[in-house]
Amino acid sequence: MARRIVYLLLLVLAGLTAASPEYLSAQRKIDRLRADRVPAGSKVTLTPAELNAYVRAQAPTIAREGIRDPRIELGDSRATAHAYIDFPKLRRSQGQPMGWFLSRLLSGERPVRVEGRIVSSAGRATVEVDRVEVSGIPLTGSALDYVIDNYLHSYYPEAKIGKPFDLAHNIDKLEVRPSGVDVLVASSPSKWRKVAQTPKAAARR
């Protein structure tokens, strides 16, 4: 789940090498979160350098080809992802070749920029995509829907844009700042988690 949290901060992408100290530090922190070894009520901070190193190292496991030089910038409750993407090549790496027209239209490597807001509390988070640019041109309407449906959801079918999703491992919230991402572990199970475990709540689902 911690890995998915990092990816949702970017929605798609991010910088260094797998052998770097930043990557190793990020891996240790994420492993502790995933193994529920972080004490209740404590905080784990992932710095921009650690996030960039981790996601850059993980990128080849997500897409064998089609993505180059991914990086991320953090703001106050915001994240901006940058990368060079070859959309037809990325689709082929998924085993789903793009149609002739779109393949011609989107051929070649293009700079992509994704801006989003991350808000979370009480064991839930919401990611809002504010802007997507391809080669400096904003995507809106059906073009934006196409990119989300055919690229983001292809790699992350559980990703929910604009809708709250549950944080696992008793994570209470994520605080995104220019200096890093603070992952706050709840001191006790969140109220919504207790409700979700009751028979009535299960029956309503």
Tens-digit pLDDT string for the chain (205 aa) = 444 444 445 443 333 344 689 999 999 999 999 999 999 999 999 999 999 998 888 877 776 778 888 889 999 999 999 988 888 888 777 677 777 667 776 778 999 999 999 999 999 999 888 888 989 999 888 777 777 776 666 655 566 788 888 998 999 999 999 999 999 999 876 555 544 444 444 444 4
Beta-carbon contacts of 2 under 8 Å, excluding residues fewer than 6 positions away, are 30, 33, 34, 169, 171, 183
CA–CA distance, 11 with 171 (Å, rounded to integer): 19
Containing H/E element for 110?
Answer: strand 110-121
Q: What was the pLDDT predicted at 189?
A: 67
Are 7 and 127 contacting, i.e. CB atoms less than 8 angstroms apart?
A: no
Containing H/E element for 193?
Answer: helix 191-196
Give CA separation, 83 vs 23, 69, 97, 133, 181, in Å: 19, 5, 21, 11, 20
In this prediction the pTM is: 0.75
18 SS3 class:
coil
